[in-house]
Amino acid sequence: MIEFDVVVIGAGPAGLAAAYKLAKNNIKVAVIEKGEYPGSKNVMGGVLYVDPLRKLISEDIADELIKAKAVERNVIEQNMWFISDDGLVKGGHRNEKWKEKPNAFTVLRAKFDSWFANKAKEAGALILPKTKVEDFIWENNVICGVKTSRPEGDIKCKAVIIAEGVNPLLTMKAGLRKEDLSPKMAAIAVKEIIPMPKEVINNIFGVKESDGATLEIIGSWSQGMMGIAFLYANKNSISLGAGVLIEDLMKNNKITPYEILDNLKNHPIIADLLGDYRKTANEYMAHLIPEGGYYSIPKLYGNNVLVAGDAGMLVNSIHREGSNHAITSGMFAAETLIEAFEKNDFSESFLKRYVTKLENSFVMKDLKKYRNLTSIMEKNHQFFEVYPSLINDSAYRFLTVDGTPKYDIQKEIFDMLRTRRGLLGIAGDALKFWKGVR
Amino acid sequence: MKIEDRLFLNRYRADEEHPHLKIKDMDVCKNCKDKPCINCCPAGVYQWDGEFMEVKFEGCLECGTCRIVCPYNNIEWEYPNGNYGILYKFG
Ligand SMILES: Cc1cc2nc3c(=O)[nH]c(=O)nc-3n(C[C@H](O)[C@H](O)[C@H](O)COP(=O)(O)OP(=O)(O)OC[C@H]3O[C@@H](n4cnc5c(N)ncnc54)[C@H](O)[C@@H]3O)c2cc1C
Ligand code: SF4
Ligand code: SF4
């Protein structure tokens, strides 16, 4: 039987960050990945924040990423759109400073994960693709290796990092999670890659060559379901996707995820934006996003085992931060094991310091801060339905000049708010929202 | 775009001999009122013909939604074997 110091399950950002860090510290690590190559099973909207990679790899990583063509565009502008059936209110921010020091790049996972895996390989990790981890090998109730789909594919090790992503099958098998995900703990997102000439993309987002922008869309397309859509600029394509809470999709029980995406594309304003390009695509994909936040986090450590990334539900869905949490948690998991090798102690009580590391970082602090926001949003669908249409109709009324004095217009808007949501309702929503983000 | 056309864009390596999704008990599906697997699956894998739940597992995108929505835990769900299943070139 082969032996490694550490086996990492899954070559996503969490697993690869852990492997990179371990290998750099001369620990013999194998990453097991079921896909043909790292990234071949993976999907994300596509905003990769650079900071965690600066901390993990080097300060110059942004230049390296660009040179290696591992990223698409440097995000210099981020937008949020609120749409009603026929209107649009925009908000956004662009900053020149992001041109000098990139904050985030858009990425395509097949490319980015492959690059990241090569980086881990160069550091000394073994990447074992085309291989599925089926189960653990136990000895005296303690995990001491993994069983893989390969013939005679058992691998022994001192510790395992579970970085299997959002479906926590092995996390459950390890006994760290008692129950599977429930429909309110995850969103189902679908996404298409739509090829477009560079000039068209630059026009849509108002950017120049190599500069990128993001666009998030809330509103009528989701038919009141809790959901967010996105449109991100890649080099020669855009990533267009939409995700809704599974619980809402079940309740709706009429529309499929891809019909929701078509809804969005056929919205007159989005249809104008995309033109005929919306009728073509290069690839169609689907993936879950952990939405449960703080309260859905499983036990992240046990004897000889740690959980990182989406498997630990470490996603801040409000800020679409997942890959950066995955990289950071993978790095902390590796640091914890490096300390464990120094002390030769892989017990649960020693590995607990992994959670302390997470708690002292932005990862757990942010998840704690927003711990109630998801459930507030979930119970208050007006945030996805009534408000986007109210702000659009208010803006329309305010900006339409038809001889009505402004005083009367304001009164009309006020009456509209009162009848459609109620003043107490609005005050209550504001309070709830404030409580959620405070 | 129809779901068939969408799936047609993708690359798959189907493991014809080993379906990775199986209905445990067809009678349970018969009595399942809303059949959420049908509407929630982003790949149109589940189709009910009035008697029988057809599972076109070859088009599965391996998201896990059906596993989560089935109220009766009636789907035997696993990832396809190593190297099989969906193969994204962009992601
Ligand atoms: C539509 C969408 C949009 C998103 N947008 C953003 C965004 O813009 N910015 C952002 O930061 N985050 C975003 N996220 C979240 C981000 O994608 C995840 O948080 C991140 O990928 C988690 O990394 P991970 O390594 O934990 O898991 P994953 O990236 O899911 O990797 C898990 C890996 O484990 C492998 N695996 C699983 N089980 C086994 C097994 N048994 N044997 C072998 N291999 C196995 C899988 O094949 C996979 O490669 C988005 C997610 C989605 C779905
Ligand atoms: S949800 Fe489950 S029980 Fe219901 S029809 Fe689908 S597979 Fe059958
Ligand atoms: S895993 Fe996802 S794509 Fe596959 S059958 Fe289930 S819901 Fe459909």
Report CA-CA distances (Å) from A192 to A19, A103, A201, A287, A318: 30, 24, 15, 12, 22
Q: Which of B1, B3, B88 is facing A110, going by the closest CB pair?
A: B88
As a 3-state breakdown, chain A gives helix, strand, coil percent values, each rounded to 5, of: 45, 25, 30
Q: What is the ipTM of this complex?
A: 0.97
B45 lines ligand 3 (CB under 6 A): yes
pLDDT at position A111: 97
pTM of the model: 0.95
CA of B4 to the centre of ligand 3 (A): 14
Q: Which of A36, A41, A44 is facing B62, going by the closest CB pair?
A: A41
Q: Which two tokens stand for residue B15?
A: 């493991």
Q: Which two tokens stand for residue A308?
A: 């990182």
Residue B83 with chain A: CB contacts under 8 Å: 34-36, 129-131
Q: Which of B6, B43, B91 is facing A108, going by the closest CB pair?
A: B91
pLDDT at position A320: 87
Distance CA B60, CA A287 (A): 11
Q: Which of A110, A249, A287 is facing B40, going by the closest CB pair?
A: A249
Paired residues of A239 in beta bridges: A193, A232
CB contact under 8 A, B85 and A41: yes
B63 lines ligand 3 (CB under 6 A): yes
DSSP string of A298-363? ---EETTEEE-GGGGT--BGGGTB-HHHHHHHHHHHHHHHHHHHHHT---HHHHTHHHHHHHTSHH
Residues A283, B9 contacting (CB under 8 angstroms): yes
If DSSP codes are grouped into helix, strand and coil, which group holds residue A70?
coil
A10 lines ligand 1 (CB under 6 A): yes
pLDDT at position A128: 98
CB contact under 8 A, A246 and B67: no
pLDDT at position A228: 95
Residues A73, A348 contacting (CB under 8 angstroms): no
pLDDT at position A383: 82
**A278, closest residue in chain B (CA to CA):** B1
Whether B1 has a pLDDT exceeding 90, the answer reads no
**A37, closest residue in chain B (CA to CA):** B83
Residue A31 with chain B: CB contacts under 8 Å: none
pLDDT, tens digit, 9 for 90 and up, residues A240-277: 999 999 999 999 999 999 999 999 999 999 999 999 99
Q: Which ligand is nearest to the CA of A128?
A: 1
Q: Which ligand is nearest to the CA of B37?
A: 2
Residues A172, A164 contacting (CB under 8 angstroms): no
B72 lines ligand 2 (CB under 6 A): yes
DSSP string of B20-83? SEEES-HHHHHT-SS-HHHHH-TT--EEE-SS-EEE-GGG-----HHHHH-TT--EEE-PPPTT
pLDDT at position A431: 79
Residues A74, A210 contacting (CB under 8 angstroms): yes
pLDDT at position A159: 98
Residues A75, A98 contacting (CB under 8 angstroms): yes
**B45, closest residue in chain A (CA to CA):** A256
pLDDT at position A425: 81
Paired residues of A9 in beta bridges: A32, A162
Q: Which ligand is nearest to the CA of A288?
A: 1
B86 lines ligand 3 (CB under 6 A): no
pLDDT, tens digit, 9 for 90 and up, residues A393-414: 888 988 988 888 888 888 888 8
If DSSP codes are grouped into helix, strand and coil, which group holds residue A205?
helix
DSSP secondary structure letter of residue B17: T
Distance CA A193, CA B52 (A): 34
Burial class for A138, CB neighbours closer than 10 Å (0-12, 13-18, 19+): exposed
A9 lines ligand 1 (CB under 6 A): yes
B74 lines ligand 2 (CB under 6 A): yes
The atom of ligand 3 lying closest to the CA of B60 is 4
> Out of A35-39, A127-131, B9-13, B15-19, which region has the weakest mean confidence (pLDDT)?
B15-19
If DSSP codes are grouped into helix, strand and coil, which group holds residue A398?
helix
In 3D, which of A132, A141, A147, A176 has the Cα closest to residue A34? A132
pLDDT at position A1: 80
- Tell me which residues of chain A have a pLDDT lower than 70: none
In 3D, which of A190, A232, A192, A205 has the Cα closest to residue A71? A232
| A4 backbone dihedrals φ, ψ, rounded to 5° | -130, 160
CA of B43 to the centre of ligand 3 (A): 6
pLDDT at position A279: 95
CA angle A363, A47, A225 (to 5 degrees): 85
Report CA-CA distances (Å) from A221 to A210, A335, A352, A416: 30, 44, 44, 22
What contacts A174, CB < 8 A, 6 or more positions away?
A136, A143, A160, A162, A302, A305, A307
pLDDT at position A385: 80
In 3D, which of A139, A132, A134, A177 has the Cα closest to residue A157? A139
CA of A63 to the centre of ligand 1 (A): 24
CB contact under 8 A, A286 and B7: no
